[in-house]
Amino acid sequence: MKHTTRIVAGALLLGCTAAASAEITLYGRENFRGRAVVIDEAAPNLQGTRLNDRASSIEVGSGTWEACSEPNFRGNCVILRPGQYPSLTAAGIGNAISSVREVDRRRERVAAVPPDRGVVLFDGPDFSGRSIAVDGVADSLEGFNDRARSMIIYEGQWELCEHDRFRGDCRLFGPGRYPTLGALAGDLSSLRPAQAPVATYAPPAVPAYTAPRIVLYEGQNFRGRGTAIDADLLANLGSIGLDDRASSLRVEGGSWVLCSDPNFQGRCWTFGPGEYPVLPPALTDQVSSARRVPDGMRYNGAPDWIAPR
Query: What total of structural domains would you count in the chain?
Result: 3
- pLDDT above 80 (res 222): yes
| Rounded mean pLDDT, 28-57 | 87
Residue 188: pLDDT band (50, 70, 90) is very high
- pLDDT above 70 (res 286): yes
Nearest one of 295, 207, 262 to 215, comparing CA atoms: 207
Q: Is residue 201 part of a domain?
A: no
* Range of lowest pLDDT (13-27, 147-161, 214-228, 230-244): 13-27
Average pLDDT across the chain, whole number? 76
With contact defined as beta carbons under 8 Å apart, do 180 and 137 qualify? no
Residue 108: pLDDT band (50, 70, 90) is very low
93 burial via Cβ count (<10 Å: 0-12, 13-18, 19+): buried
Q: What's the rounded Cα separation, in Å, for the pair 224 and 205?
A: 23
Q: Is residue 302 part of a domain?
A: no
Determine the residue type at 180: T
- pLDDT above 60 (res 196): no
Q: What's the rounded Cα separation, in Å, for the pair 201 and 195?
A: 17
Question: Hey, is 23 helix, strand or coil?
Answer: strand
Q: How many residues does the chain have?
A: 309
**Same domain as 8, residue 100:** yes
Residue 122: pLDDT band (50, 70, 90) is confident
pTM beyond 0.75: the answer is: no
Q: Is residue 17 part of a domain?
A: yes
For residue 275, list its beta bridge partners.
Answer: 250
Per-residue confidence (pLDDT) for residue 21, from 0 to 100: 62
**Same domain as 53, residue 9:** yes
- pLDDT above 80 (res 171): yes
With contact defined as beta carbons under 8 Å apart, do 307 and 278 qualify? no
Q: Domain ends where: 45, 74, 107?
A: 107
Q: E strand or H helix at 102, and its extent?
A: strand 99-102
Q: What is the pLDDT of residues 255-280, one digit of tens each?
A: 888 999 998 888 888 888 888 888 88
User: Which residues have CB under 8 Å from 202's CB, separation 6+?
Assistant: 174, 302
Q: What's the rounded Cα separation, in Å, for the pair 101 and 183?
A: 35
